[in-house]
Amino acid sequence: MTPNEVLPTAAGFPLRDSVSRLAPSQIVELWEMGHGRDDVIALWVGEGDLPTPKFIMDRAHEALLAGNCFYSAKRGLPVLRHALVAYHQRHFGVALDSERVTVTASGMNAIMMALQATLSQGDNMVTLTPCWPNIFGAAAILGVETRSVPFGKGPDGGQKLDLDALFAACDDKTRAIFVVSPSNPTGWVIDPAEQQAILAFCRTRGIWLLADEVYHRFVYDRAVAPSFLEIAEPDDPLLVVNSFSKTWAMTGWRMGWLIHPVQLGPLIDSLIEYNTSGTQSFIHLACVAALEDGEAFVQENVARSARGGALVYEALRQLPNVRIAPPQGAFYSFFAVEGLRDSLAFCKDLLERSQVGLAPGSAFGAGGEGHIRLCFATSEERLAEALERLRGYLATRP
């Protein structure tokens, strides 16, 4: 299906145009091809293979038994919001007002509400690409144009931000700049000087800065990735999205948070009312346990991903038909394959012939084609087997 085709309607009833034209997810397409197959090593989605730690699950169980199964405060229980304030103080040295913190039903929900609060049909949002593909669909649903600014090539074969190109893409209809750091899918991590430049530009132009910092703990040369919160004033046009999914292995729990100016609190409260009406109170208490007691798990989780990233890098950089940069952050290798023109077809063929599930670079927007994304947040044994199969496939590929 192409972006211009319209989905058939049920019994001829009309659908909203911006929704009927949504392009299907290439990653989900591959996932559906191989889901449930025992012979497939699935490294296509952004999810590790570790289950949620038992102490977090135990806290949720205790909370349920204690009767925490009723409607909760829409923006999150105060105990969780205060725990998030303390977390940001510990790791970023940032003193947040708890009124700037809203708990959300996943990081995706935080992004959708951020867009609903700041963008209108006909506006545009400028996005660094390759980028997590859900942002394109979220903007399209709202009738918002997404303008892509591809990364340039860095000296180590990785990504380099072109600030001039980023700013030149903005015009009088630009209402937001979207930045993911550490980056899904590339692993790029923004430099503090680049953060300063982007925030100053947004202040001057009256543009919202939407920062996705979901992978903030997955960085391999320091304790935590640079956050825009470290340099921003409380009333800056800044919205920071985060999630419990990656750091604490809680993908299936669907819990995130949004940091915003205090003035937006009532508006976000209203948006929650009409999106989800709030999240589950027993999960709020499990999230408090994650924040307060989960540091040992987080450090081991990140160290495990670092080992996985090093294993993938060392294996693939030796191949003559692969170009790969060492990972800086997140838990993905985003490597280029020589002569590759259709990464979706490549991934489908790899899945069928070698039973390895990877994500096509074309799913991540401008600059992604010709690349493949591999999630290395899994055991070294599984990675080693996947790499052996991938090497064999590349060696016999026409």
Decide if pLDDT at 109 tops 90.
yes
Span 70-294: which CATH code? 3.40.640.10
Domains 10-52+296-396 and 70-294 share a fold: no
**Which residues are paired to 348 by β-bridges?**
none
Predicted pLDDT at 14: 81
Predicted pLDDT at 229: 98
pLDDT per residue as tens digits for the range 236-284? 999 999 999 999 999 999 999 999 999 999 999 999 999 999 999 999 9
Band of pLDDT at residue 7, cut at 50, 70 and 90: low
Predicted pLDDT at 140: 94
Q: What percent of the chain has pLDDT over 90?
A: 88
pLDDT (average), residues 187-206: 97
- Check: CB of residue 277 under 8 Å from CB of residue 103: no
Helix (H), strand (E) counts: the chain? 13, 15
Q: What is the mean pLDDT of the chain?
A: 94
Band of pLDDT at residue 10, cut at 50, 70 and 90: low
Band of pLDDT at residue 22, cut at 50, 70 and 90: confident
Residue of 6 and 390 predicted with greater confidence: 390
Q: Which of 289, 244, 291 is nearest to 47 (CA)?
A: 244
Q: Look at domain 10-52+296-396 and name its CATH class.
A: alpha beta
Angle between helices 265-275 and 107-118 (to 10 degrees): 120
The residue ranges of every structural domain in the chain are 10-52+296-396, 70-294
Decide if pLDDT at 9 tops 60.
no
Band of pLDDT at residue 2, cut at 50, 70 and 90: very low
Predicted pLDDT at 260: 98
Decide if pLDDT at 1 tops 50.
no
Predicted pLDDT at 8: 55
- Check: CB of residue 146 under 8 Å from CB of residue 136: yes
pLDDT (average), residues 211-219: 98
- Check: CB of residue 208 under 8 Å from CB of residue 118: yes
Decide if pLDDT at 20 tops 60.
yes
How does DSSP classify residue 180? E
| E strand map for 81-184 | 101-104, 124-129, 145-150, 152-153, 159-160, 174-180
